[in-house]
Structure formats: C-alpha cells, structure tokens
Amino acid sequence: MWLPVSAADEAKPPVGSDNYAYYGFEPEIVTNYISNRKKLGFVRISVELMVKSPEDLVQIEHHDPLLRSAMVEILGNQPEDRVKSIAGREEIRKECFDELNKLLQQETGKSLIVNLLFTSYLYD
C-alpha cells in the first residue's frame, strides 16, 4: 500500500542518524617544539573538530582562541621523536582531543567534540 509523504516528513532526518558538523581552525596552527638539534623545530597542522550538531559550532567558534591556545601549548611541549613518529602523532591528537573537551566542559558544561582530525601535519 502506498502512503503519501508530507514535506515535513521528508525534512526529518532518519531516526538514529546524526547531523555531524565540522569546524576548521583558520589559519593553520604553527608552533615550535622541543628539538634534539641546535635549531628550533616547528610543526604546522590543520585541525578539524567534528561536533554532534551544527548548533555546537557557535560554541566552538566562540571559544576558538582558548582551544587554539591549548593546542599550541600541547604541541610546543612535545619532544622531537614524538612529533615525528606516527604513534606519537596519534598520542598528540588524543591529548588535544581530551584537553579541548575538558576546556569545553568547563566553559559550556558539555563535551562538544566527537572527534579531532589532523587534516594536515607537517614538521621540520
């Protein structure tokens, strides 16, 4: 049996689906890190934050300076071998994810970030 579907029914997302949104930090994050050499090492990353809904983007954008500062601090305190290894990069990503959610919990009462992605990761 065929039943007509109203426009309101079509606009509703399917039950159980999530409407994720992404927030990218602009410009890229660039900072120095602890190097084993005599010159300073640097790391440049592009970061995207995945949030549960587009409404969360307002809060993320509002706290952008706080979140950016936390990532710069985390990256700046890393040793060279951690910055340059794949396993170390994943540890840094997890540390940034945890710290940013902790800060957002303090500021907004919610952990808004579902995932943190490094879309570009360059170092020297």
Q: Which tens digits make up the pLDDT trace of 77-108? A: 999 999 999 999 999 999 999 999 999 999 99
Scan for tokens 């039950």, then name that residue. Answer: 15
The pLDDT score that the predictor gives to residue 38 is: 76
The pLDDT score that the predictor gives to residue 89 is: 97
pLDDT averaged over the chain? 88
Domains located in the chain, CATH noted: 19-123 (3.30.479.30)
CB 58 within 8 A of CB 120: no
The pLDDT score that the predictor gives to residue 37 is: 75
pLDDT of 17 > 70? The answer is: no
The pLDDT score that the predictor gives to residue 120 is: 96
pTM comes to: 0.82
pLDDT of 72 > 50? The answer is: yes
Three-state secondary structure readout of the chain:
CCCCCCHHHHHCCCCCCCCCEEEECCCCEEEEEECCCCCCEEEEEEEEEEECCCCHHHHHHHCHHHHHHHHHHHHHCCEHHHHHCHHHHHHHHHHHHHHHHHHHHHHHCCCCEEEEEEEEEEEC
Per-residue pLDDT averaged across 44-60, rounded?
A: 96
The pLDDT score that the predictor gives to residue 6 is: 43
